[in-house]
Structure 1
Amino acid sequence: MALMIGAGWAAPAMAEQQPETDRIAPDTAAESVSCAVKFMNDTKVREIPYADSAVLGVIPADTWADGAWCIPLTTGGKHTTCAQYSNIWVAVDVDDTWGFAHVGCMNDYYLH
């Protein structure tokens, strides 16, 4: 199932100032829903939801990331992946550390 989130496929990347925030884990959200997500390309997991944030790990293409926080999705810096320009990110667990993956390449998910 293809998931198209965001618009502005031709919009240029814009430099944004990152807020100073702590990383958020699903257990700190009142009404979060966990899920499994899959991306069509290798997808970097970042420390905070901004494209120039530190990379914590990579989710390989077509591999299910079981530890994810899909509801609510996270807003952050606008970024383009797989020709999708948006500010929507999903919190994921990579190597026992929570981080954020841009949803532009997300092509499937299911709720737990």
Structure 2
Amino acid sequence: MHAPVRRWRWKWSTRPNKREAPQAKDAQKEASIADLEAKLASAKQTIEELQATAVASDIKERERESRNALAMLEASLEAKEKAALAQQHIQATQLALKAKCGNIEERKDARAALKLVPWKASKPPSN
């Protein structure tokens, strides 16, 4: 015959201690709350860093755009100055031709006008 099967019986020694269980649960909750607070703080810090880098990159982008606009304005100003010098040079050349080749009245007027021409206009503009 076979040996008798031993059945499990409930004993007070295997019963969980109900006094310690709430304290363990509270400690576990507090630990999870502290962990979540730490994660929240790190997330806030990450958000602040991302916002700071976004602001910095936005500032850099605006600086780049303003530098480009300033360079374009300077280039257009230089082009206008060169065009004005070219126009003055053309007028000075016309006056010089009149001073050499025109009739007596035109020669006198051209010589007087040439004395008023700025020295920059007498030279052709360099491109």
**Common fold by TM > 0.5:** no
How high is the TM-score relative to the length of structure 2? 0.15
The structure with the largest helix share of the pair is 2
Q: Higher Cα Rg: structure 1 or 2?
A: 2
Between the two structures, name the one with larger relative contact order (CA 8 Å, sep ≥ 6): 1
The structure with the largest strand share of the pair is 1
